Amino acid sequence: MVIRILMLILALTTPGLASAQDRQIPETLAQVQLSFAPVVKKILPAVVNIYTKRTVSSAVPNPFMGDPFFSQLFQDQMFGGRMRKHIENSLGSGVIIEKEGLVVTNAHVIRDAEEITVVLSDGREFASKVVLNDDRSDLALLRVDTRGESLPFAMLKPSESLQVGDIVLAVGNPFGVGQTVTSGIVSALARSSLNINDFNFFIQTDAAVNPGNSGGPLVALDGSVVGINTAIFSKDGGSLGIGFAIPSEMVATVVAAEKAGVTGEKGIPRPWMGISAQTVTSDIAQSLNLPKPVGALVAALHPASPLRQAGVKVGDVILAVNEREIRDAPEMKFRMATVPIGQTATLRVLRQGQSLDVPVKAIAPPDDPPRHEMPLKGNHPLNGAVIANINPAVVTELGLAGGEEKGVVILRMADGSPAARFLSPGEVLLEINGRKIAEVSDVAPALSLSNSRGWSFTVSSQGRVQTIMIR
């Protein structure tokens, strides 16, 4: 009898148990046992499912390909290599951040899409178009044709407000089953040991994230968006409790670029530092008398680097950007990437035991020396390729590996051209027919040196050197 009385008192006095109408956001350990429904009710209307369509071509296998004799004839697809086009559908998630219909999602969700449909939680469907595609951050912005309607939207919140252990929600459309909410905690911040996008700086969470969640929001308990879910660590495609989200600070830079009218297929311009840096290890920290291994050690500076012009020197350790401490070199790159071009960032630098504050202006990668783009035509294997001199702007556009700061690179090439059969954009021409290639003007004379044995090309691709013989 006493137990029943105690249970009745508990039911009448505990918020959220006495009445289903008194639900509230969990704020204490006891309230964690209640409900996340208020958060979900706030964010769900702004989360969208994204359906895309694109036309893809695939080879139709020749019926003789499996024959031991005839298969030799089809190795180069000269015979019977018919192509068939079909429509491929894919799905993902996104979140509306403006009532006028601006949607944030992942760039890989809408890549090569010819038709994009956005579906709200209430079932309404809207056509949309890509207004900004930033592959470097794996973020994209869509504009929804709202037909004059005001749409529900969510607010961005700095991920800096998060701490490891905070509860977060992931909302999306996993496996196409429909809008799904999962909960978890922030497992780690500033994850930088991945290779997902150019900035490699992520929030890690154990909230279940599966295929189809990409582009959906990571949500704090006040209903604000602190990140965009982008990838998972998985052996079989399912959730293993290791998901990664792009911090909201990077999302904010992409939104600001769209507001400023900086749109296009190549993404948005970001500050160029002209620096080669390495993470401070325990050994480096000990040699520099640092109390702990944090920061980025400046290993090299480009002659045009704004850091060099501001007084930063090789051997300095960058400890903070705009008063935000730097754990490693990737975090320094991320922090600078969120500084708008034209503004000044303050770097805290350690030099010979002394801490210095250095103002550094964020600049776009210089297009100098001139790239001198040149389309190649003629009776040679490079017919159809467009080449250019390497400079910081070209390195940034193509994502060339560090160290490739001069020479001649393949910018692009025509589909089906001779060059497209053995070269790809971003590959650096080192030698042609035994002649070294230092600039664009060296290419034409080298191509004229062919003999009865054909042409030879020595190229570098992401630091890997190989020689290709064409007869």
Q: Which of 138, 206, 316, 328 is catalytic?
A: 138
10-residue averages of pLDDT along the chain (471 residues): 37 41 61 77 93 66 50 48 58 91 93 88 90 90 88 93 92 82 90 70 87 90 94 62 89 89 70 92 90 92 93 94 90 90 93 92 91 91 92 86 75 87 90 92 87 82 86 76
Render pLDDT for 331-386 as a digit per residue (tens, 0 to 9): 898 899 889 888 999 999 999 889 999 999 999 899 988 999 999 998 888 999 99
Q: Is 108 labeled as catalytic in the residue annotation?
A: yes
pLDDT of residue 92: 87
Looking at residue 352, what is its pLDDT? 87
Give residue-wise pLDDT tens across range 236-252. 555 577 889 999 999 99
Distance CA 403, CA 204 (A): 31
The pLDDT of residue 148: 83
CB 346 within 8 A of CB 321: yes
d(CA 160, CA 139): 19
C-alpha pair distances (Å), 317 with each of 48, 199, 311, 323, 336: 43, 20, 13, 15, 15
pTM: 0.76
- What was the pLDDT predicted at 20? 42
DSSP state letter for 149: P
Examine residue 247 and say whether the peptide bond preceding it is cis (omega within 30 degrees of 0): no
Return the pLDDT at 2.
Answer: 36
Instruction: Give me the pLDDT at residue 87, please.
Output: 58
The pLDDT value given to residue 145: 87
The residue whose two tokens read 């922030």 is 186
Q: Is 138 a catalytic residue?
A: yes
* Residues 47-86 pLDDT 10s: 999 998 776 555 555 555 554 444 544 554 444 455 565 5
**Helix (H) or strand (E) segment spanning residue 229:** strand 225-232
Contact 203, 162 (CB under 8 A): yes
Q: Which of 214, 248, 305, 460 is catalytic?
A: 214
